[in-house]
Amino acid sequence: MTTSVKWIWPAVLVGMCLLPLGVGIYPQHVLIVSLFYVMMAASWNLLAGYTGQVSFGHAAMAGIGAYTSGILAAKAGLNPWIGIAAGTLFAALLGLGLGALCLKMGGIYLSLTTLAFSQILHIIIVNEYEVTRGTMGLQVPGLIPEYSKLAYYYILLAATVLVLFILYRMIHSNLGLNFRAVQNDETAARAVGVRVLHLRVLAFTAASAMAGFAGGLYGHYLLLVTPEIPSLDLQFYVLAMTVIGGMGSFVGPILGAFAINILAEKIRDYGEYHVLVFGLVALATARFAPEGLIGVWRSLRRRPAR
């Protein structure tokens, strides 16, 4: 690691700690939601960016986390923190099962199966009104006795740092080396002993757990868990953030999550058209800057050096 990188992360962290101070409640809310999306995009990137598995079930996993914890807290009076742990574990188990089931099929089948999983989950949640309160949404208790945006911000920030730290360690270990080998050439990777299937199931389980964790925290922040968390809208949001930020890079999805979420707030006035704008931005990115924002930044930085 170069020295310039060594101080960048602590500096960013200090900046992130100071960021919500002195701003109003609304910007604080936008930042908290952005942190949720950072966790979602960064963990989805582990799948799509590092192991080439385009899952459409990532938002569904966040939904699993949110509803598991929410139902346990609202119906059984369980402490939300324990609920979040349970939701994370449940998402991991579902990820493991779904992974073992469909990763052997690979490619488009994974996308289709996770899409079906996500739709099935959505239908169950909407229809099981007694348990989930359907589209009305389930009221859940908060994580802290006294509601404070600032406190939630720091909780989400700590969680995001934890998720990013785990992802960073994974990517920079033997595991990450194997991921990259598979991304480069699956046949050659197998030929040198990489256990491709193991690797994919592991990544899928880990990413699902992270989505479940993020979803659980998010639900207890919103105090209302609705089917909008495990929705395809949210899924495509996460996808757009990762693609626009830069798939397969560590920083890309983090930038993408902040950029897109803040942009979304800015263009909210255009109503439904903001979805159209994201579609166009994502298309333009895929066409003109396939490595996303981070790729653009890298090439800009490289040019003056020559």
Residues near another protein (CB under 8 A):
174, 177-178, 180-181, 184-185, 187-196
**Closest distance between another protein and the C-beta of residue 195, in Å?**
5
Taking the least distance from each CB to another protein, the nearer of 126 and 177 is 177
Taking the least distance from each CB to another protein, the nearer of 186 and 265 is 186
Question: How many Cα neighbours within 13 Å face the side chain of 254?
Answer: 15
Q: Give the integer Cα–Cα distance in Å for 260 and 40.
A: 13
Cα distances (Å, whole numbers) of residue 48 to 62, 161, 204, 248: 17, 21, 10, 8
**Closest distance between another protein and the C-beta of residue 114, in Å?**
24
**Closest distance between another protein and the C-beta of residue 191, in Å?**
5
Taking the least distance from each CB to another protein, the nearer of 5 and 76 is 5
Residue 87 makes CB contacts below 8 A (sequence gap 6+) with 64, 65, 66, 67, 68, 69, 72, 212, 213, 215, 216
Taking the least distance from each CB to another protein, the nearer of 15 and 193 is 193
Taking the least distance from each CB to another protein, the nearer of 185 and 233 is 185
Residue 225: in which H helix or E strand, if any? strand 224-225
**Closest distance between another protein and the C-beta of residue 169, in Å?**
13
Taking the least distance from each CB to another protein, the nearer of 180 and 274 is 180
**Closest distance between another protein and the C-beta of residue 42, in Å?**
20
**Closest distance between another protein and the C-beta of residue 128, in Å?**
41
Residue 301 makes CB contacts below 8 A (sequence gap 6+) with none
Q: Give the integer Cα–Cα distance in Å for 219 and 138.
A: 9
Residue 6 makes CB contacts below 8 A (sequence gap 6+) with none
Question: How many Cα neighbours within 13 Å face the side chain of 50?
Answer: 31
